[in-house]
Amino acid sequence: MAAFELTKSKQQVSTMLKQGFISDFFLSPPPSSFSSSPSNPTQPIQSPIRSAPSPTLFEMMTEEQTRDSSRPSTHLQSFDTARMRIEERVSRVLSGAPFRNPSDWGLGFGDVKLTITARDGFSVSMDVHREVLASRSQFFKEKLGRRSGSHHSVEICECDDVEVYLETLVLMYCDDPKKKMMGEGVSKILGLLKVCDSLKFNDGISSCLEYLEAVPWSEEEEERVISNLQDLNLHNDHDVLQRVALEPSTSSRIDDIFLRLLTGVLQAKDEKARKEMKTLISRLLKEDNNSTYNRLDISKETLYTICHKCLTSLFHCLSEATSCEENRGMMSEIAREADNLEWVVEILIEKRIGEEFVKLWSDQNELGVLHSKVPVMYRHKISRITAQLCIAIGRGNILVPKETRVSLLSTWLEALYDDFGWMKRSSRSVDRRLIEDGISQIILTLPLLQQQAFLMSWFDRFLEKGDDCPNIQRAFEIWWRRAFVRQPVVEPQLQITVCDYPS
* pLDDT tens string 177-229: 998 899 899 999 999 999 999 999 999 999 999 999 889 999 889 999 988 88
The mean pLDDT value for 475-490 works out to 85
Q: Using alpha carbons, select from 196, 182, 189 the residue that is nearest to residue 240.
A: 189
What confidence category does residue 28 fall into, taking pLDDT thresholds of 50, 70 and 90? very low
Question: What is residue 405's DSSP assignment?
Answer: H
* pLDDT tens string 435-459: 999 999 999 999 999 999 999 999 9
Helix and strand totals (H; E) in the chain: 22, 3
pLDDT above 60: residue 483: yes
How far apart (Å, rounded) are the C-alpha atoms in residues 235 and 273? 38
Give me the percent of the chain exceeding a pLDDT of 70. 75
Least confident of 19-23, 167-171, 272-276, 342-346: 19-23
Beta bridge partners of 115: 125, 155
Question: How many CB atoms lie under 10 A from the CB of residue 321?
Answer: 23
In angstroms, the Cα distances linking 130 to 102, 141, 222 are: 13, 9, 37
How far apart (Å, rounded) are the C-alpha atoms in residues 415 and 409? 10
pLDDT above 80: residue 45: no
Q: Using alpha carbons, select from 136, 125, 127, 133 the residue that is nearest to residue 108.
A: 127
The pLDDT value given to residue 86: 80
* pLDDT tens string 140-184: 888 887 655 567 788 888 888 899 999 999 999 998 999 889 989
What confidence category does residue 81 fall into, taking pLDDT thresholds of 50, 70 and 90? confident
Dihedrals phi, psi of 185, to nearest 5 degrees: -80, 170
Could you give the strand order of the β-sheet that contains 123-128, starting from the edge strand earlier in sequence?
Answer: 123-128, 112-118, 152-159
* pLDDT tens string 303-346: 999 999 999 999 999 998 888 765 667 888 999 999 999 999 99
Dihedrals phi, psi of 154, to nearest 5 degrees: -135, 135
